Amino acid sequence: MRFFTLTSLSFLLVGANAHVLVINGYTFQDLGDGLCTATSMQNSEDSGLPDKFEVNKADRTMTIDKLNINDDDGPNKLYTSNTMADVCRECGLEPKNLNKVVMTVSKEPCLENALNRYRSIHSDTEENEKIVATVILDGTGSDLDRQVWFYLFHCTSYEIVERMLTPKSILSKVSIEEGDKDCLMSYFIESHEEDDETTIYNAEGYGERYSDVWP
């Protein structure tokens, strides 16, 4: 997986504040105390790109106000992943050292499928109850939750975060807080060895390993 570095991108000083830069069409600002932000210079509805990133170096977290990308925006997915990685590095935090990425996302079909599957396998969940749950990779939680994770593999937000990571880090669990039209997604990241054969990177590998849990 290849990432663009800040030295390979054009960026400008903005105004008199030497802590404000323009990176990939985002205004980057170092707020001090390990807190950095990157705000889009375009209308998010027109560009199809996120409005704002925030990095907290102390907590090793990144927060995205709203992910304005749908499944058809292939170039925007890669563009967003690269920008997220660049903002992390400019804030002094390598993507591989992130603990968590939090974002608000629309209920695209894969996410609806994951939520519906969660309801169907958890009998204590009411049909129209809003889901608040954490799903753990590799079935270290409920075996049936593997089916929920399989759907999450296909979600735009998962792809964007996964593309930002290095081979020495992996998404280990996902927390979902369902709203009426959106969901708050928290992607938790852990380090791992590159030659760890137990690691699964995509939906195909996950389906092959856990085909026995499908209904």
Residue 212 to residue 135: CA distance in whole angstroms: 18
Nearest to 163 by CA among 30, 22, 69: 69
Residue type, 205: G
Q: Which of helix, strand or coil describes residue 101?
A: strand
pLDDT digits (tens, 9 = 90+) for 93-137: 988 889 999 999 989 898 999 998 888 888 788 777 899 988 887
pLDDT digits (tens, 9 = 90+) for 133-189: 888 876 445 566 778 888 888 888 898 898 888 777 888 889 999 999 899 999 999
- What are the tokens at 58? 């102390």
